[in-house]
């Protein structure tokens, strides 16, 4: 055994086994009991290795595929739950094996950034439930008729045959079980089995044959890959550093980072070093001069501890001459000058990179180790090429927080590149934290952040490009456009946006307050699914705290008056702004509009004044009046009014807003006549349709307006939206 510094954790012996088959087992992980004399593992990180069974956790008994020190993650195999019909005449007779996993007293948590609860089948509702005090419960509905089996699309997991939903951050226990109220005996010969599993979604692609055969189960051998986050202890870096006897970042060239899972910390080698930060002298210097491709130097390279210096070539004295060789010398001089300029530009980019805390962000988002579709740090040259040198014709728009350009990356992904306004020096750390946290967001109704560039004076953010513009443009733009939002669309989009904000507000330890919720920041993708965007004004606040800001930000017409006057920022500020969005959908008026008197009027003030003495049906848009029932209009108006209350404490939470909208959609669904028959009908499970509204958990429902299979009936279309996915209370 090797002893560390006095008072520090003991170091593992060189006798420890560090491979199991082809899998590396780096410390703090180890094979065998953690309290062995060799100290091969830290407490909780001990594994077993069996030649036939592979590398496994001891409790629970799970196969380990690989371990990443840099990311603080591990991949494991998670059993797939299934429910299969037998030959009984009982409509729900089945062989069903649910599953539960308990990581509560371990260093592991299920990664919300990588895993999705995935359900496959027809007429299938499966639940995932946490067994802790959070009360978290969620579910997914995978639905299809007999004819849908023939027309399902490969790769589409939005409810027809396949459904996926996100999980919350920091979850350590879950159980899976199937609902027994779907009557699908008339389709069991086509789709006899249903499957449910929490799995890594990064490499999952739905195949239509998964619903009609055991192929999904057999393709993964009954166990799907699962990503878990792991962390040391339950303390923050600051707290752990004060206890040298247990502090795990023992290498002199290591840094500590708080876990994104909400508890504990991980260690990484400092920039310019590589190795194992949990071992004394485990982080060794990288010789950048040996890898000119990764660390370009147009001159003389000199390796330094944690970095390298690049010296320009010595000046070349060129004697002026009219001789024949002068032209060659001039060309050589121009070549050297251009090379020097490129080097100078690179040095400037490095200066901005350091100023913008790029070294810290590299450690936080671990960009060089994760898959290409995850967050990374882009070079300025990459984004120049993607935007044709920021051609003005590529500009998508500009706003209070900067300009947005359309770009095409080298892998052909279409992106939106946002150039923010100048960030003050004291805001850089906040910016870095926001990017690091937003890079972990995994929600189908939030625009995906691909990464950023820190090599310019003003950092650039790279987002997924959303093709159909914003909700604002759709409801206030040209009325002759081919696509106009129906009332069903409005309810769905409002529900999706509310679910996204609820997700942001309800993170495990850090809540994200958007601070600029408005219809122009709710984008619509190719299928008119809502995507909440633009986090330029967002703030990260510890859960259940109120934050006092000195610079109140927001958009006039949407801005919470209580926040404006007091500077106290909490989740209810976003609720107020969302109430204005609901009014836009009801009245089809802009937040600041010109009323009949010719004066500019605030929409929320106008609404609150009118409903004192007139029915809401007098002022709603004609299209809404023609498509929505009076009860629905009154309910949405009442919800908007509650969101717009002056005192934030009297407003509902975004979770309550989402629940109310979900209830409205379910009520609208239940009032629909029976859908046209194909060769069977779709039933809404009693567990969803018969519960009292006040006890109803929110469902996250996604619509694909272009789905031709659901176009024959407006009500049937709504049923299709409903069953396309379900995300019960977070």
CB 641 within 8 A of CB 670: no
Could you tell me where the beta strands, DSSP code E, fall in 435-498? 449-453, 460-464
**Kindly report the CA angle at 239 between 238 and 240, in degrees rounded to 5?**
95
Whether 516 is catalytic: yes
Q: Are residues 627 and 659 in the same domain?
A: yes
Q: Is residue 726 part of a domain?
A: no
CA 280 to chain centre: 36
Please tell me the predicted confidence (pLDDT) of residue 373: 43
Q: Is residue 199 part of a domain?
A: yes
CB 677 within 8 A of CB 518: no
CB atoms within 10 A of CB 219: 12
Q: Are residues 620 and 498 in the same domain?
A: yes
Give the number of domains in the chain: 5
CA 166 to chain centre: 9
Distance CA 368, CA 50 (A): 32
Cβ contacts of 714 within 8 Å, gap of 6 or more: 486, 488
CA 368 to chain centre: 19
Select from 654, 561, 660, 666 the least CA-distant residue to 605.
561
Q: Are residues 516 and 568 in the same domain?
A: yes
CB atoms within 10 A of CB 508: 17
Could you identify the residue written with the tokens 């591990």?
74
DSSP letter (8 states) at residue 162: E
Last residue of a domain, one of 671, 690, 711: 671
pLDDT digits 0-9 by tens, 368-416? 343 334 567 788 888 889 998 888 888 887 655 568 889 998 888 899 8
Q: Is residue 354 part of a domain?
A: no
Q: Are residues 82 and 194 in the same domain?
A: yes
CB 616 within 8 A of CB 633: yes
Q: Are residues 241 and 207 in the same domain?
A: no
Please tell me the predicted confidence (pLDDT) of residue 109: 92
Could you identify the residue written with the tokens 């958007």?
514
Q: Are residues 523 and 666 in the same domain?
A: yes
Q: Is residue 368 part of a domain?
A: no
For 197, half-sphere exposure in the C-beta direction (CA atoms, 13 angstrom radius) is 24
Last residue of a domain, one of 349, 380, 396: 349
Q: Is residue 51 part of a domain?
A: yes
Q: Are residues 289 and 325 in the same domain?
A: yes
Residue among 516, 534, 560, 574 flagged as catalytic: 516
Q: Is residue 556 part of a domain?
A: yes
Could you identify the residue written with the tokens 């350590």?
172
Last residue of a domain, one of 620, 648, 671: 671
Strand partners, 108: 230
DSSP letter (8 states) at residue 571: H
Q: Are residues 50 and 88 in the same domain?
A: no
Query: Does 419 count as an annotated binding residue?
Result: yes
Strand partners, 255: 268
Select from 357, 114, 371 the least CA-distant residue to 255.
357
Can you give the residue range of the structural domain that contains 198? 74-230
Distance CA 583, CA 606 (A): 10
Both tokens of residue 279? 């071992």
CB-count exposure of residue 96 (10 Å: 0-12, 13-18, 19+): middle
Listed as ranges, residues in the chain with pLDDT below 50 are 1-7, 89-95, 316-324, 357, 360, 364-373, 508-509, 542-545, 547, 549-550, 673-730
Q: Are residues 192 and 98 in the same domain?
A: yes
Q: Are residues 291 and 148 in the same domain?
A: no
Q: Is residue 42 part of a domain?
A: yes
Q: Are residues 213 and 185 in the same domain?
A: yes
Q: Is residue 418 part of a domain?
A: no
The domain that holds 536 is classified in CATH as 1.10.510.10
Report the number of secondary-structure helices (H) and strands (E) in the chain: 17, 38
Q: Are residues 193 and 328 in the same domain?
A: no
Distance CA 537, CA 401 (A): 8
């Amino acid at each position: 055994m090797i002893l560390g510094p006095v008072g520090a954790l003991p170091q593992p012996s060189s006798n420890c086994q560090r491979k199991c088959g082809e899998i590396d087992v780096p410390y703090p992980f180890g094979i065998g009991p953690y309290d062995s004399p060799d100290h091969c593992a830290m407490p909780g990180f001990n594994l077993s290795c069996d030649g036939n069974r592979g590398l496994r956790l001891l409790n629970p008994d799970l196969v380990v595929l690989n371990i990443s020190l840099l990311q603080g993650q591990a991949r494991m195999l998670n059993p797939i739950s299934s429910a299969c019909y037998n030959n009984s005449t009982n409509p729900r007779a089945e062989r069903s094996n649910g599953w539960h996993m308990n990581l509560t007293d371990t260093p592991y948590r299920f990664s919300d950034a990588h895993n999705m609860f995935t359900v496959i089948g027809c007429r299938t509702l499966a639940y995932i439930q946490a067994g802790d005090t959070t009360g978290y419960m969620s579910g997914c509905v995978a639905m299809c008729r007999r004819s849908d089996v023939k027309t399902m699309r490969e790769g589409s997991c939005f409810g027809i045959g396949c459904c996926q939903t996100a999980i919350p951050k920091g979850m350590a226990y879950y159980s899976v079980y199937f609902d027994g109220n779907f009557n699908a005996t008339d389709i069991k010969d086509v789709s006899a089995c249903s499957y449910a599993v929490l799995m890594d979604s990064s490499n999952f692609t739905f195949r239509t044959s998964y619903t009609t055969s055991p192929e999904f189960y057999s393709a993964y051998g009954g166990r799907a890959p699962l990503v878990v986050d792991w962390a040391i202890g339950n303390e923050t870096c600051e707290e752990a550093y004060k206890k040298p006897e247990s502090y795990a970042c023992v290498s002199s060239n290591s840094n500590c980072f708080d876990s994104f899972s909400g508890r504990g910390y991980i260690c990484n080698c400092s920039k310019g070093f590589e190795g194992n930060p949990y071992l004394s002298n485990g982080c060794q210097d990288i010789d950048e001069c040996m890898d000119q491709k990764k660390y370009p130097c147009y001159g003389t390279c000199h390796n330094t501890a944690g970095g390298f210096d690049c010296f320009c070539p010595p000046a070349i004295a060129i004697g002026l001459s009219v001789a024949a060789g002068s032209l060659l010398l001039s060309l050589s001089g121009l070549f050297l000058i251009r090379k020097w300029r490129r080097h100078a530009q690179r040095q400037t980019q490095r200066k901005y990179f350091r100023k913008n805390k790029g070294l810290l962000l590299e450690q936080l988002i671990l960009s060089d180790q994760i898959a290409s579709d995850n967050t990374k740090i882009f070079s300025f040259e990459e984004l120049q090429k993607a935007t044709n040198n920021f051609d003005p014709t590529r500009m998508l728009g500009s706003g209070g927080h900067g300009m947005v350009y359309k770009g095409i990356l080298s892998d052909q992904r279409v992106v939106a590149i946002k150039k923010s306004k100048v960030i003050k020096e004291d805001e850089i750390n906040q910016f870095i934290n926001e990017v690091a946290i937003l890079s972990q967001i995994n929600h189908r109704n939030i625009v995906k952040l691909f990464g950023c560039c820190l090599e310019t004076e003003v950092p650039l953010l790279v987002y997924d490009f959303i093709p159909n513009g914003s909700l604002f443009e759709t409801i206030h733009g040209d009325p002759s456009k081919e696509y106009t939002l129906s009332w069903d669309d409005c309810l769905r989009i409002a529900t999706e946006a509310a679910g996204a904000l609820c997700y942001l507000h309800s993170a495990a330890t850090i809540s994200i307050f958007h601070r600029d919720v408005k219809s122009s920041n709710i984008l619509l993708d190719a299928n008119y699914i809502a995507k909440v965007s633009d986090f330029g004004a967002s703030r990260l606040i510890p859960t259940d705290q109120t934050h006092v800001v000195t610079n109140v930000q927001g958009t006039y017409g949407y801005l919470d008056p209580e926040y404006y006057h007091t500077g106290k920022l909490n989740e209810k500020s976003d609720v107020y702004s969302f109430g204005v969005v609901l009014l836009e959908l009801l009245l089809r008026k802009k937040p600041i509009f010109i009323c009949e008197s010719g004066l500019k009027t605030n929409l929320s003030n106008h609404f609150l004044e009118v409903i004192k003495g007139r029915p809401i049906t007098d002022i709603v848009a004609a299209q809404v009046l023609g498509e929505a029932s009076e009860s629905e209009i009154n309910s949405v108006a009442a919800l908007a009014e509650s969101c717009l209350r002056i005192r934030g404490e009297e407003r509902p939470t975004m979770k309550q807003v989402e629940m109310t909208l979900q209830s409205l959609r379910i009520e609208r669904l239940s009032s629909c006549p029976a859908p046209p028959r194909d060769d069977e009908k779709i039933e809404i499970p009693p567990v969803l349709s018969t519960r009292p509204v006040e006890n109803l958990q929110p469902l996250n429902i996604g619509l694909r307006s272009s789905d031709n299979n659901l176009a024959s009936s407006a009500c049937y279309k709504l049923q299709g939206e409903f069953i396309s996915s379900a995300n019960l209370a977070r």
